[in-house]
Each structure stands twice: as C-alpha cells, then as structure tokens.
Chain A
Amino acid sequence: MDPRIEPTAADEDGWTVAGRRFRSRLIVGTGKYKDLEQTAAAIEASGAEIVTVAVRRVNLADPGAPMLQDYVDPKRVMYLPNTAGCHTAQEAVRTLRLAREAGGWNLVKLEVLGPPPTLYPDMAATVEAAAALIQDGFEVMVYCADDPVAAKRLEAMGCVAIMPLGAPIGSGLGIQNPAMLSMLIEQTAVPLLVDAGVGTASDAAIAMELGCDAVLLNSAIAMAKDPIRMARAMRLAVEAGREAFLAGRMARRMGADPSSPLTGLIRR
C-alpha cells in the first residue's frame, strides 16, 4: 500500500449490535446461490461478518448431503438465524428455539411476512412475535415496514436493531423511501439497517449515505450474473457510502458554481 495513504475512517469504524462489535457494515443472506461453493465464495468476497440463515427440516433421505456449516464456518462468520416462512408468532418462536439449540446463540432476525406479491412485513404479527421472543430471552433484530410508529414500538419493546425495507424482498427496486428512512434513522437509538430492496451497488451506497448503520441483502448478490464480483461491489459500496456519510456531503444548490478560479483568465 502507498505509505502516503492514511488509514481511512472505515478501517477503524465499526458498529455494535446487542453488545457485539462488527467491522463490516454488510450483512448478507445465504439463499438463492447456485451451490454451497458459490455461497462461501460470495460471503468471502463481501467481507461480511454476519450471514443470515434459515432453519429447515433435514432431508431424511439424504443424510450425507453437504450442509451449509461445511462450507460457511460459523466460527468465522456469525450465523443470524431468520424466521423466513413463519407466519405466526408461535411458529417464529418455535423456529428460533431450534436455531438457538442448533447454534447456541440468541441474536436472531425476526421477519413475519404478509402474502405475495408484496411479502410486506405483517407488523401486527411482527409485534406479537417480537414480544414472545424477547420474553423468551432472544435478542431480536426485526425486519419491518418503514413505519415510524411501528418501528418506535418495536424499539421500545426492546428489539436490538430496526430493519426496515427499502423495497419489497427480492425486488431489487432499490431505496424507494429515502425520506422515510431518514426519519427512521433520526428517531432510532438502536442500529438501523436497510433489509430488503437493494438491487445493485449504488442502492447500498445510498442506504449508507442516508446514515444507516448497516445493510442486509441477499438477492442482489445471489441473482447477479457474477455473484462473486457483485459481492465485492457491495462491500465497496457499503464502505463508500459510509465514508460519504461521515464526510458529509456538500450542500445542493440550484445553479452552477465553477470549480476553477475566475481570476487570471487569458483575454484577447
């Protein structure tokens, strides 16, 4: 490295959720990849220290099938179990109790979804599930609507991170709600993450420039033509967005303001 380049703020910058400190502000999902080799390579390229995982029945007919843990070592990256597919508080609690036994930790991602085609967060069911999980000793990072009232309620209940969507899950539509996200960032004392909607690197950068603590995404990497390259792009975008947020953007102005001095011009 060029010795003249000082360590950047991003090198020392970090964030804390539920008392755990992380350097990377990118959390990635482990779904939708071609195979487990590609999953592992994409996670590596993303630099993520936390990955989301789902809990499902083992295949009794194929006990020797490769398992996620064989490719993505839970000692190297932290598994964040989710409740994908759960539609009630009871299912969510059952699923995460199994996850806690399988993995031995209590930091989890709660999501309770409404029906397709939006799979929009079901906030009434989410609040009910969060209450049951917190009661049972879980530390809950919660996927939610960009609803400041619901988000405040979830925070007051004791959720350890508020994770609104930027657009529907898997849509890749990008950050459709920057104004609402800014208001949520303003009102939220625990970490605020964009979870869902990111489609490409600039979307992740926008989320970070708004002041999010981190970004959670899956499809944008897994569904890219070259997932490993997109994983790297996302790592850089999250770092760039964070740096830009810390740097503080210039003020917008209506009209031009030349960058070069107007004095000393040659004249005929």
Chain B
Amino acid sequence: MKDTTLSLTVNGEARTLAGPTSVAALLAGLGFDARKVAVERNEAIVPRSVYGETWLAPGDALEIVHFIGGG
C-alpha cells in the first residue's frame, strides 16, 4: 500500500492521520466509545451505522460531540 497521510481538522484542531482511515478507526484511535458520541463531517451528520465505511478525505472538518450537563 502506498504511504498516504491525511491532514484534517477534528474539533477545530489540525490532525495528521495515517490513511486510509474510517470514522470508526478515527474514534477508536482517539479513544472514544462510538456509542457515546456523534460525528459531523463537513457539517453533515455521519450516521453511526456507517462509521466503518465512511473514509476520511484530506481537508475534512470533523466535529465529535457528546452530551454534557446543561440546563
């Protein structure tokens, strides 16, 4: 496989990943439980059911969120 790296942003932070990487692999690599977060890629929701087959592309802007205390 040819050596590819991916530069993208996660929650506003620049990140470089070894590619190709799926959303599922990104979450696992970051240490998050996919069942407890939601992911937006370039302002579009990534349904949890397709995390494994959603491949990240250079320049992607990802948001990973969860529920916290609030009123």
Q: Are A169 and B40 in contact (CB under 8 A)?
A: no
Q: Which segment of A59-67, A171-179, A225-233 sits at the interface?
A: A59-67
Interface string of B33-46 (1 = CB under 8 A from A): 00011111001011
Interface class of chain A by DSSP? mixed
Enumerate chain B interface residues (CB-CB to A < 8 A): 10-13, 30-32, 36-40, 43, 45-48, 63-71
Q: Give every chain A residue within 8 A of B70 (Cβ-Cβ).
A: 29-31, 52-54, 82, 84, 218
Q: With A53-B68, A57-B63 given, is the CB distance from A67 to B36 under 8 Å?
A: yes
Which of A94, A102, A218 contacts B67, CB < 8 Å? Answer: A102
A58 at the interface (CB under 8 A from B): yes
Q: Give every chain B residue within 8 A of A138 (Cβ-Cβ).
A: none
Enumerate chain A interface residues (CB-CB to B < 8 A): 29-33, 36, 39, 52-58, 60, 63-64, 67-69, 79, 81-82, 84, 94, 97-103, 169-170, 218-219
**Assembly CA distance A79 to B38 (angstroms):** 15
Q: Which residue of B lies closest to A74 (CB)?
A: B67
Q: With A58-B11, A58-B37, A63-B32 given, is the CB distance from A103 to B66 under 8 Å?
A: no
Q: Are B65 and A98 in contact (CB under 8 A)?
A: yes
Most B CB atoms within 10 A — which of A39, A52, A101, A219?
A101
Q: Are A54 and B69 in contact (CB under 8 A)?
A: yes
**Assembly CA distance A84 to B68 (angstroms):** 11
Q: Give every chain B residue within 8 A of A68 (Cβ-Cβ).
A: 66-69
Q: Are A60 and B37 in contact (CB under 8 A)?
A: no
Q: Which residue of A lies closest to B39 (CB)?
A: A101
Q: Are A94 and B40 in contact (CB under 8 A)?
A: yes
Which of B10, B36, B47, B65 contacts A55, CB < 8 Å? Answer: B65
Q: With A29-B71, A52-B70, A67-B67 given, is the CB distance from A99 to B32 under 8 Å?
A: no
**Closest 9 CB pairs between A and B?**
A54-B70, A29-B71, A63-B31, A218-B71, A102-B38, A30-B69, A101-B38, A53-B67, A98-B38
**Assembly CA distance A67 to B68 (angstroms):** 7
Which of A30, A56, A69, A97 contacts B36, CB < 8 Å? Answer: A69
- Interface CB pairs A-B, < 8 A, 7: A53-B69, A55-B68, A56-B66, A57-B65, A98-B45, A98-B63, A218-B70
Q: Which residue of B lies closest to A219 (CB)?
A: B71
Q: With A98-B45, A102-B37, A102-B38 given, is the CB distance from A58 to B32 under 8 Å?
A: yes
